[in-house]
């Protein structure tokens, strides 16, 4: 029999978002791990909010909302808040009822600075890594490191001389750079002063960007540490040594570190050897003689490390195509460090939920 459309809506509906989400939906496992990680950092969240005054949006809800933005490639905070009005799945993930109104997009802007100043995203990221370690998904012995460029939210029109010289912009905001040598020590972006001009390689165009660094565990390709720095002034090898130092503070003792030719420097190799870590870096002909010895290069572990280290590109590829790292919408190193950590934990949650699904 042909069905009929009834335009008369029901006055009352009795159902919860929990009933609308399928039992085998992949977001269920992610939600279970996310809630467990947020429970670990709850004392940190309690410490940055006052006990008196008007209640604000719970920080757990804001962090989970930013996680959804990364997982579903939502292009802006405003669009997410609009979608939250009618998306039952998002409301279920944020533990919101159907009658509860959506929050305004300005909530992200006002609270992101507070969360970024306390490095809440980094603590959240570490909590997810601890969950993966408890599931024995990390070895913490053999790691790989790499970096990538994160394009800043600033155009070349804003890259102007620090002393105020040069020709002024026209009606369209363009400037005539002909015959002018633009350098980071003489020029600066008026939109994002912390962004630096850099190009990926010879023949590529120069862009205002930051440098993202990631440390990958070789067992299952999970990201165990991340950081973000200005694209110049802090080289990849220096950032990698900082990540190693942070691993040491967690009482972890890695045995080997894999990397590409960019890490074949005397400072990085000697820094690893001083900590009794085998430098499994690809050899650079320009720096021949300062790399690992023949016994390391000819070992089976070195060859395996050079093969596995390429898996870290999966995180950078996912982060730029899905997580929103291709061109950041935030300004400054601290805010983008917050975004880098959230993207890294989103990537880990996706992989952990697939390897160890839960029924939560």
Residue 281 and residue 260 in contact, taking contact as beta carbons nearer than 8 Å: yes
Q: pLDDT at position 55, please? A: 82
**pLDDT of the residue at 287:** 64
pLDDT value of residue 359: 64
pLDDT at 179: 67
pLDDT band at residue 2 under the 50/70/90 scheme: confident
d(CA 65, CA 82): 12
Q: Are residues 39 and 77 in the same domain?
A: yes
Q: Clarify whether residues 108 and 147 are in a common domain.
A: no
Residues 242 and 278 in one domain: yes
Residues 24 and 113 in one domain: yes
Distance separating alpha carbons of residues 68 and 72, to the nearest angstrom: 6
DSSP 3-state assignment of 211? strand
Q: Dihedrals φ, ψ of 11, to 5°?
A: -75, -35
pLDDT band at 233 (very low <50, low <70, confident <90, very high): confident
Please tell me whether residues 218 and 274 are part of one structural domain. yes
pLDDT (mean) for 120-148? 93
| 146 pLDDT tier (thresholds 50, 70, 90) | very high
Asked if 129 and 138 count as a contact pair (C-beta separation under 8 A), the reply is yes
Taking the C-alpha atoms of residue 311 and residue 145, their distance in angstroms, rounded to an integer, is 10
Beta strands in the chain (DSSP E): 142-151, 159-161, 187-189, 196-198, 207-217, 223-230, 256-259, 278-281
Do both 143 and 108 map to the same domain?
Answer: no
Q: Is the pLDDT of residue 98 over 80?
A: yes
- What per-residue confidence (pLDDT) applies to 53? 82
Same domain, yes or no, for 42 and 76? yes
- The pLDDT of residue 225 is above 70: yes
* Stated length of the chain: 360
Please report whether residue 182 resides in a domain.
no
Are the CB atoms for 301 and 280 separated by under 8 Å?
A: yes
Q: Are residues 259 and 113 in the same domain?
A: no
What are 271's two structure tokens?
């820094």
CATH number assigned to the domain comprising residue 223: 3.30.420.10
The Cα 166–Cα 163 span in angstroms is 9
Task: Give mean pLDDT, residues 114-118.
Answer: 84
| Domain membership of residue 293 as a residue range | 139-153+209-340
Closest CA to 128 of 34, 212, 217: 34
User: What percentage of the chain exceeds 90 in pLDDT?
Assistant: 46
Give the residue among 237, 233, 226 at the shortest CA–CA distance from 323: 226
Partners of residue 214 on adjacent β-strands: 146, 226
Based on the domain organization, do 64 and 147 belong to the same domain? no
Q: How many domains does the chain have?
A: 2
**Over the stretch 13-45, which tens digit does the pLDDT of each residue have?**
777 888 889 989 999 999 999 999 999 999 999
| Among candidate residues 320, 14, 313, the one with its CA nearest the CA of residue 147 | 313
pLDDT at 170: 65
CB burial readout 177-195, b (16+ within 10 A) else e: eeeeeeebeebbbeebebb
pLDDT at residue 175, as a whole number: 67
Name the range with the highest mean pLDDT among 183-187, 196-200, 222-226: 222-226
| Mean pLDDT computed over 137-156 | 91
Provide the token pair at 131.
């969950």
DSSP 319-344: HHHTSS-SB-SS-SHHHHHHHHHHHH
Weakest mean pLDDT among 53-62, 96-105, 136-145, 178-187: 178-187
User: Rg of the chain's alpha carbons, rounded to an integer?
Assistant: 24
Q: What mean pLDDT comes out for the span 285-295?
A: 64
* Distance (Å, whole) CA 280 – CA 264: 9
For residues 335 and 217, state if they share a domain.
Answer: yes
- Relative to beta strand 256-259, strand 142-151 is parallel
Residue 36 lies in a domain: yes
Q: What is the pLDDT of residue 160?
A: 84
Q: Considering the domain boundaries, does residue 6 fall inside one?
A: no
Burial class (CB in 10 A: 0-12, 13-18, 19+), 283: middle
Confidence of residue 169 (pLDDT cuts 50, 70, 90): low
How far is Cα 290 from Cα 281, in angstroms, rounded to an integer? 11
Angle subtended at Cα 343 by Cα 330 and Cα 121, rounded to the nearest 5 degrees: 75
CB within 8 Å of 195: residues ≥ 6 apart = 152, 154, 189, 208, 209, 210, 230, 231
Supply the pLDDT for residue 358: 82
The chain-wide mean pLDDT, for the chain, equals 87
pLDDT, mean of residues 311-329: 93
Mean pLDDT of 290-310: 77
Q: Give the confidence band of 157 by pLDDT, cuts at 50, 70, 90.
A: confident
**Are residues 146 and 286 part of one domain?**
yes
Q: Report pLDDT for 14.
A: 75
218 and 104 part of one domain: no
pLDDT greater than 60 at residue 360? no
Confidence bin at 229 (pLDDT 50/70/90): very high
C-alpha–C-alpha distance, residues 21 and 335, integer Å: 33
H helix and E strand count, the chain: 14, 8
């Amino acid at each position: 029999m042909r069905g009929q459309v009834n335009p008369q809506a029901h006055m009352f509906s009795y159902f919860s978002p929990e009933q609308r989400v399928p039992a085998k939906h992949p977001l269920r496992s992610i939600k279970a791990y996310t809630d467990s990680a947020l429970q670990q950092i709850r004392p940190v969240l309690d410490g940055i909010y006052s006990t008196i005054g008007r209640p604000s949006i719970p920080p757990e809800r804001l962090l989970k909302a930013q996680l959804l933005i990364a997982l579903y490639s939502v292009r802006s905070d405003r669009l997410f808040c609009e979608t939250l009005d009618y998306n039952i799945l998002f409301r279920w993930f944020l533990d919101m009822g159907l009658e509860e109104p959506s929050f305004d997009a300005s909530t992200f802007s006002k609270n992101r600075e507070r969360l970024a100043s306390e490095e809440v995203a980094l603590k959240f990221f570490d909590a997810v890594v601890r969950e993966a370690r408890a599931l024995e998904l990390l070895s913490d012995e053999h790691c790989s490191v790499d970096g990538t460029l994160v394009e800043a939210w600033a155009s070349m029109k804003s890259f102007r001389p620090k002393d105020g010289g040069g020709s002024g912009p026209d009606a369209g905001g363009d400037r005539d750079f002909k015959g002018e040598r633009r350098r980071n020590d003489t020029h600066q972006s008026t939109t994002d002063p912390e962004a630096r001009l850099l190009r990926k390689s010879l023949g590529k165009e120069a862009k205002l960007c930051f440098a993202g660094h990631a440390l990958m565990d070789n067992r299952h390709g999970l990201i165990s540490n991340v950081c973000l720095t200005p694209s110049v002034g802090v080289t990849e090898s220096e950032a990698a040594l900082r990540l190693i130092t942070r691993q040491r503070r967690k009482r972890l003792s890695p045995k080997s570190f894999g990397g590409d030719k960019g890490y074949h420097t005397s400072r990085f190799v000697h820094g690893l050897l001083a900590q009794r870590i085998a430098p499994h870096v690809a050899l650079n002909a320009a720096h021949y003689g300062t790399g690992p010895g023949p016994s390391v290069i000819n070992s089976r572990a070195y060859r395996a490390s050079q093969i596995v280290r390429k898996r870290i590109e999966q995180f950078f590829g996912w982060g730029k195509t899905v997580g929103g790292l291709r061109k950041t919408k935030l300004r400054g190193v601290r805010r983008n460090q917050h975004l880098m950590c959230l993207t890294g934990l989103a990537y880990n949650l996706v992989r952990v939920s697939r390897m160890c699904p839960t029924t939560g």
